[in-house]
């Protein structure tokens, strides 16, 4: 579904967006728009049947994620999960946003009998079907939930899930803060529209220059809900992002919202709605605070390269084929996923321990 500008009017998501615009008086906050664009049943990017994840555009995919790139990702993460299962004396794994099911396959294979139940929570019905096909051979060990149970125990993982949660846009223009939303113009195209707001970024942005950024109430509410439900266990979230001092740096004045389509990146979420992924980087300080305020303890925070190396990736590379090695190296190269991607770990119901993934290079102090 590669929508050209002229085809925008015929985009089936228009009906849904227009109904929402009408209900809200002609203006939708960006997070509401992003939720409709990504998750509207059957039509939103994560709800439609497009390929999404894959190595190359020729597969019809839009981007590649770490578990799609190399099975050594999940095999390495398994060392941290195994360590956390032992320290928390639990036997269940929970995955949020399981995509194609690749990470689940890697973890289930590596952890074997260490895991009793592998529970998947995904907002996307079409991805759930894909996961069910990919994981059929695991039988009843894998189950799918449409919402979180009242209490959970075990180890939670989520790769590139927090970046897929809708964000609010805040724009400082001529010294005034506005919430940036979406409206439809007389020519039928969507455009940005700003409204005065009391909302502010979590830190003061130095300077008087015009500035665009995001805040992440949904990702933070998600972590708080998880904290509320997880009575004993640990959680690891891997994603691209920064601590707040870097996120809200005065020079990062264009925000971090990005779209992915056909392995190209662009900055305009208002065209080809539903045909491309929309993401924002993660504010890991906000995630850490949301977890802590709701009762989780931070186990550690570091970049993905350090985390995977701590988990034994280098030894695994040595026994891999040249081709496997080249792909897995992208997980840790600084200019690929090694530095931009970070890992945050939490624990619940137990004292924090020297978790294997954060043993060297822990940067919790930067949060
Ligand atoms: C960028 S994809 C990542 C998929 C997979 N983890 C991977 O690494 O290939 C984001 C996934 O998060 C899911 N997602 C977004 N918000 C979610 C939420 N609140 N609960 C569960 N899944 C969610 C989406 O449906 C999608 O499967």
Output the residue whose Cα is nearest ligand 1's atom 23: 97
pTM: 0.96
pLDDT score, position 6: 52
- For 112, the token pair is 């074997």
Residue 285 backbone phi and psi in degrees, to 5: -65, -45
State which ligand 1 atom lies nearest to the alpha carbon of 66.
Answer: 8
The three-point CA angle 335-106-89 to 5° equals 105
| CB 346 near ligand 1, within 6 Å | no
Output the residue whose Cα is nearest ligand 1's atom 12: 97
pLDDT score, position 52: 87
pLDDT score, position 54: 83
CA of 163 relative to ligand 1 center, distance in Å: 9
| CB 165 near ligand 1, within 6 Å | yes
| CB 77 near ligand 1, within 6 Å | no
pLDDT tens over the chain, length 367 residues: 444 445 566 788 999 999 999 999 999 999 999 999 999 999 999 998 888 888 888 888 888 999 999 999 999 999 999 999 999 999 999 999 999 999 999 999 999 999 999 999 998 889 999 999 999 999 999 999 988 899 999 999 999 999 999 999 999 999 999 999 999 999 999 999 999 999 999 999 999 999 999 999 999 999 999 999 999 999 999 999 999 999 999 999 999 999 999 999 999 999 999 999 999 999 999 999 999 999 999 999 999 999 999 999 999 999 999 999 999 999 999 999 999 999 999 999 999 999 999 999 999 999 9
pLDDT score, position 63: 86
CA of 41 relative to ligand 1 center, distance in Å: 15
Instruction: Give the whole-angstrom CA distance, residue 114 versus residue 117.
Output: 10
Beta bridge pairs of residue 241: 282
State which ligand 1 atom lies nearest to the alpha carbon of 127.
Answer: 27
């Amino acid at each position: 579904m590669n929508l050209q500008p002229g085809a925008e009017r015929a985009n089936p998501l228009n009906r849904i967006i227009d109904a929402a615009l009408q209900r809200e008086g002609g203006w939708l906050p960006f997070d509401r728009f992003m939720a409709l664009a990504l998750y509207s049943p059957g039509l939103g990017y994560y709800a439609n049947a497009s390929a999404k994840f894959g190595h190359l555009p020729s597969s019809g995919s839009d981007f590649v994620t770490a578990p799609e790139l190399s099975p050594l990702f999940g095999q390495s993460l398994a060392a941290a999960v195994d360590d956390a299962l032992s320290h928390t004396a639990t036997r269940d794994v929970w995955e949020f946003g399981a995509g194609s099911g690749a990470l689940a396959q890697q973890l289930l294979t590596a952890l074997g009998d260490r895991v009793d139940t592998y529970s998947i929570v995904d907002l996307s019905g079409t991805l759930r079907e894909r996961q069910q096909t990919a994981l059929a051979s695991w039988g009843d060990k894998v189950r799918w939930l449409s919402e979180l149970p009242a209490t959970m125990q075990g180890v939670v993982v989520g790769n590139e899930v927090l970046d897929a949660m809708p964000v609010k846009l805040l724009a400082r223009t001529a010294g005034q803060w506005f919430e940036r939303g979406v409206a439809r113009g007389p020519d039928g195209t969507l455009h940005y529209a700003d409204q005065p707001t009391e909302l502010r970024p979590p830190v003061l942005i130095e300077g008087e220059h015009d500035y665009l950024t995001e805040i992440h109430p949904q990702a933070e509410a998600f972590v708080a809900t998880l904290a509320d439900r997880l009575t004993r266990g640990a959680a690891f979230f891997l994603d691209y992002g920064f601590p707040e001092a870097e996120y809200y740096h005065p020079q990062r004045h264009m925000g971090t919202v990005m779209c992915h389509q056909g392995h190209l990146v662009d900055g305009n979420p208002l065209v080809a709605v539903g045909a491309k992924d929309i993401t924002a980087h993660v504010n890991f300080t906000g995630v850490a605070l949301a977890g802590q305020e709701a009762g989780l303890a931070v186990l550690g925070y570091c970049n993905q390269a350090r985390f995977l190396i701590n988990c034994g990736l280098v030894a695994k590379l040595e026994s891999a084929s040249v081709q496997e090695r080249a792909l897995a190296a992208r997980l840790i190269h600084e200019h690929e996923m090694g530095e931009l991607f970070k890992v945050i770990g939490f624990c619940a119901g137990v004292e924090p321990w020297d978790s294997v993934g954060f043993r060297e290079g822990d940067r919790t102090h930067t949060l």
